[in-house]
Amino acid sequence: MIRLFVGLGNPGTEYEATRHNAGFWWLDALASAWGARMAPERAYQGLVARVARPGVDGPVWLLEPMTYMNRSGVSVAGLARFFKIAPAQILVVHDELDLLPGQAKLKLGGSAAGHNGLKDIHAMLGTQDFWRLRLGIGHPGEKAEVPNYVLKKPSAEHREAIAKASEQSLKAVDAMLAGQMDRALQIVHAQPPRPKPPRREPAAAAAAPAATPPADDPTP
């Protein structure tokens, strides 16, 4: 089961609407849904909420590291070790260049693929075996453009697509809390239903042939 939900981003108003803060957006939505208040905790260098959930044995933690992205692991490992939360009980939510806006993928382990937040969490935990929820933000097309791209605001269309992907993935949280990660994967990766094809109008009935007038019809 997931006991620690982590959203990655950068602190400060200048970053709050940028693509790199998609993890913060997701965690804020979860905290709002649960009625949880995120509060600063100096010991863990982040905003933290401790939540009791029905049917869950023990507290569930929400965390937004306030260390800047490349030092996220300091915050995550600090809280996880103090409360004896295993890496496999951690979900890290982050922006993903290799997915389009509107896409989301859930996975256990794997490389950081150049993401500095994931790199530091891996280094501080000493393992890659934690869960990740990857929220697509798209790619600028050129590697050299990535630093500026992730620190800029997405278009309104892309922001809406990211929000919809987050909304879908939030439906998997109950399964995560129950330890049903296969079920969570199905929910996160569910594709929207295909639109039904347009209804065909029935073909017009063939015109009936004119009746043959009777032999004694007086019409000329």
Is residue 94 part of the annotated active site? The answer reads no
Q: Token digits for 11?
A: 């602190």
Cβ count near 35 (within 10 Å): 8
Phi and psi at 95, nearest 5°, equal -75, 150
Phi and psi at 53, nearest 5°, equal -120, 140
DSSP one-letter string for 98-127: TS-TT-EEEEES---TT-HHHHHHHHHHT-
d(CA 59, CA 50): 6
Catalytic residue, chosen from 20, 94, 115, 122, is 20
10 Å CB burial of residue 1 (0-12, 13-18, 19+) is: middle
The set of catalytic residues is 20
